[in-house]
Structure 1
Amino acid sequence: MLWTVTTGHPRSHRRARRNGLRIVLSLAVVTALAVAAVVVLRPPGPRPLFQLPVACGETWQVGTYPGHGDFDVDFFPLQGDPWGQPVLASYDGTVTVAGINGSLGARTPENPDGPRGRGGGYWVKIDHGGRWETQYLHLLEPPLVAEGQRVAQGEQIGRIGSSGNSGAPHLHYEQRRGLQKVETWFDGAPSGITTDEVEYTARLTSNNCP
């Protein structure tokens, strides 16, 4: 005697596969959210001993101006041509971004009054651990480091330029704790730049030495 074996309607199999896929995707989303929550809620570690992002022993003007952005710092050399001067890592870390922020524009040493771009132009971002990071904007050319690269304090990561939305060659620099910009500290002391409500400048000497 022959028995009829039923394996279910094809639609039921498709429905089961779809349900299984939904469960897998839901678990993936829940896991990603849990990881993100841990990262965001984890308190920042102690402030690294950041140094000026310029050569050892050099004195630079640091400052801000109305509309620049709270805590943002611009660096201008007090001696020599600013174009192409070395930009150094403020502290040990891992490069997380090395590329273009916005658009480059066309300001170069040969054409300093060329059209501006947008945003930060060539830039680098470094993760220093403990949810601390630094950012370096308006570089002259593609960064000298790559994403994922480990850099040491004082290692050159680029050169001063005027790419992006920049009026003159300089370095725009930021320190961030978690997701927030904070007052920059150099060699264990605050820079004094906390607001862009008024123009402010100071002269600081770099201790970013080997």
Structure 2
Amino acid sequence: MRRPERLARRLRPALLACAAVLALGAGTVTPAAATADEPAGSTARGSARGSTAAVAERPAFQMPFPCATTWQLNTWGHNPALDMVVEGNTGSDAKPVQSSAAGTVSATYSHPGSGNTIQINHGNGWFTAYYHLKDAPDAYVHKGDAVTTSTQIGRIGTTGNSTWSHLHYEQRYLADGDFTDESHRVAVRFDGVEYTGAAREWLSVRSNNCGGGGNPSPPWKDCPSGFVCFYSGADGTGSVCRTGGDDPSSDCGLRKSYFNNGTELPGYDHVQVAFAEGGGQCLHYGSDEGRGNFPSGGRTVASVTWRGEC
């Protein structure tokens, strides 16, 4: 090797280090190139200087569905967002939707495109968004509510610009602010596995959203605040119908009911149910294992009346 070449080789590390120091002093360091799943930096919305900030560590996101259920995921034309249905799409309507990680509900709203929509702030700039929900966006949770992975936030529906029941789901990153939009989407990861790429599909994806070893939510958690919910199973499973008011036309055959008063109807923690077969029963805010039990065998509901006492 000739002497000038040896000298240049020795000086190269020092020159590179010097260049880095000069760049820092000038404030012109270029962030590392963004990967397919995460932006290299995020300009803080509302920042006076518009400086870039390093992406915070992503939460341990889980699928937004109950533990051990199996789902079909695809990106269609939404990459990096996902559309999700039950395995084989045998019937996704009204299936429960849970938060993907602990956080705070930052928005609940209806939109012509996304339909009934919920957005959750998971901290450190990370958000999730849930589109096309069946029920009113504040039927299960409200803005400001704290949620965990076991919290049901809604049910799969087809509201907004949608012709089939599915959940449109997004993970987003914005370093500063409490409301995101689709420009902040990043590739989705569940349980550490990445699901991204144009026009891709994944079959038989199991939800590990198990709340730390099993979904701890009691069955009545499936009942939105201010509703009376009727179930076919004695253990509070198998939703038959639900009502948010007096409904003389209801003809649900049922074995058990739960009543979740929440804050929608303050003071009205009792519901008088009259049966078509005769007689009736008063439901009231009770213990976690049951909020009003009907005799086994099934009854036909003739009317439901909300009361302070009954």
TM over 0.5: yes
Q: 2:95 matched to which residue of 1?
A: 85
Instruction: Select which of 182, 189, 207 maps to 1:185.
Output: 189
Aligned to 1:37, the other structure's residue is in SS state: coil
Q: % of aligned pairs identical?
A: 36
Higher relative contact order (CA 8 A, sep 6+): 1
**How far apart are residue 207 of structure 1 and its match?**
0.3
Cα deviation, 1:63-110, whole Å, max 9, x if unaligned, reads 122xx22201011012763111100000001111112122xxxxxxxx
Contact 2:87–2:203 (Cα < 8 Å) also in 1: no
Contact 1:136 1:173 in 2 (8 A): yes
Deviations 1:143-197 (A, max 9, x none): 3111111111121000000000112000000001226211100001112x232xx
Distance 1:167 1:136 in 2: 16
Which ranges in structure 1 are unaligned for 5 or more consecutive residues?
1-33, 103-118
The answer on whether the counterparts of 1:53 and 1:154 sit within 8 Å (CA) in structure 2 is: no
Cα deviation for residue 35 of structure 1 reads 8.0
Counterpart of 2:129 in structure 1 is 135
Residues 112-191 of structure 1 aligned to structure 2 (within 5 Å): 119-143=113-137, 144-178=140-174, 180-191=184-195
- The 8 Å contact of residues 103 and 147 in structure 2, kept in 1 or not, is answered as yes
Q: 1:72 aligns with which of 64, 78, 81?
A: 81
Aligned partners of 2:186 and 2:45: how far apart in 1? 25
Q: Deviations over 1:21-78 (max 9, x none)?
A: xxxxxxxxxxxxx98217974333101100000110011001122xx22201011012
Q: Residue 73 of structure 2 is aligned with which of 56, 62, 82?
A: 62
Tell me whether 1:51 sits opposite 2:59 in the alignment: no
- Higher helix proportion (structure 1 or 2): 1
Instruction: Give the distance between the partners of 2:136 and 2:155, measured in 1 at CA.
Output: 9
Residue ranges of structure 2 left out of the alignment (5+ in a row)? 1-43, 175-182, 212-310
The one of 37, 42, 46 aligned to 2:47: 37
Moved more, 128-137 or 170-179: 170-179
Aligned to 2:205: 204
Count of equivalent residues: 156
Offset, 1:199: 4.8
Mark the CA change 1:199 to 1:98 in structure 2 (over 3 Å): closer, same or farther: same
Contact 1:59 1:206 in 2 (8 A): yes
Helix, strand or coil at the partner of 2:117: strand
In terms of Rg, which structure is larger?
Answer: 2
Give the distance between the partners of 1:90 and 1:57, measured in 2 at CA.
14
SS where residue 136 of structure 1 aligns?
A: strand
> Superposition RMSD on alpha carbons, in Å?
2.1
User: In structure 2, do the counterparts of structure 1 residues 160 and 42 end up closer, same or farther at CA, with 3 Å as the change threshold?
Assistant: same
